[in-house]
Structure 1
Amino acid sequence: MDTRTTGQGGIAITPRGGNQFGLLRVPLPCSRPDGTDRLTAITATAGRRHIERRRSALRTLIDHTPDHLASRLLRRRTDPAGVVLTASHVRAPEPMTVLGTPVIELTAIPWLPPGHTCFTHLTTHNRTARLSALTSTSAHNPQQLVQQWQRACHEGDA
């Protein structure tokens, strides 16, 4: 997935790699009692501008840092010991078609980074949000995570 936004030129895949995500650590405000309050706090630290800055910084790191050093920095940043939850969100363009046929549903297929126990991927399309969760066999009660996402979405919709 090329992470450049519309209007950014250049080749689709840089010489050093194509999947250039913006890595962003977001504090989870679990102590806040209200779901809307928690979402507002998360949105303040994970908005589009923050993510674009991280994406741009990651592209710069990959393009201008020696491979061995960039690899060490990325491994440290994504080390499972320092990451509680790995999540992603993709806002699909609307309307969207495949071979001329309108897309009516969209489901993301998450990946599981090495050493991690869970990856969630939220996709929004056609005024519908869909969560995909992939867990390892060592994940404790993965169904609870999905149920909590569902509850949070219902709280936000109320």
Structure 2
Amino acid sequence: MRSLAATQRRRFAELRRDDRAIEGLPVRLVIALVVGVASLSVMLNMVSGVEGLAVSELDVRPAPEVTTPGEQELALTVVDPDGRPVAGATVVVAGDTARLDGVATGRTGANGTATVTVAPTLGPNREQGTLSVSIKPPAGGQYVDRRGNTRVLVVAE
């Protein structure tokens, strides 16, 4: 009768020579990876459906989009990705390649539109320039303004 230690040494030596487990291991890993990715995809799809966690990028639609130098009013409509107007946002118009004295600001009403008065000027020997428009989203965290917005083109008469 063999001792327990000798039996364990013999089994360990047999297992060390047996390479069948190594052949099946990569297949099991691939299956586990596929199942894990599928499960993660389902969970992320469920989470993205929760409205409280999602944020929407805002854009502005200026009217008119093309204007001339001199004092005038711009109607700036702030919209969400679906084109719906957003109330309570603050719009800021500043000079870009066209010049403004300071900045013009306005707050959107229930229809998502703010009206600001601007007096753009063009530099010497300039035929055109742009005014930049940025948006400060309403409080609440549902909206962001990370990307560039539509610019207002100023063209010499």
TM-score by length of structure 1 reads 0.23
Larger Rg: 2
Q: Hey, which of these two has a bigger chunk of helix by percent?
A: 1
Higher relative contact order (CA 8 A, sep 6+): 2
Q: Hey, which of these two has a bigger chunk of strand by percent?
A: 2
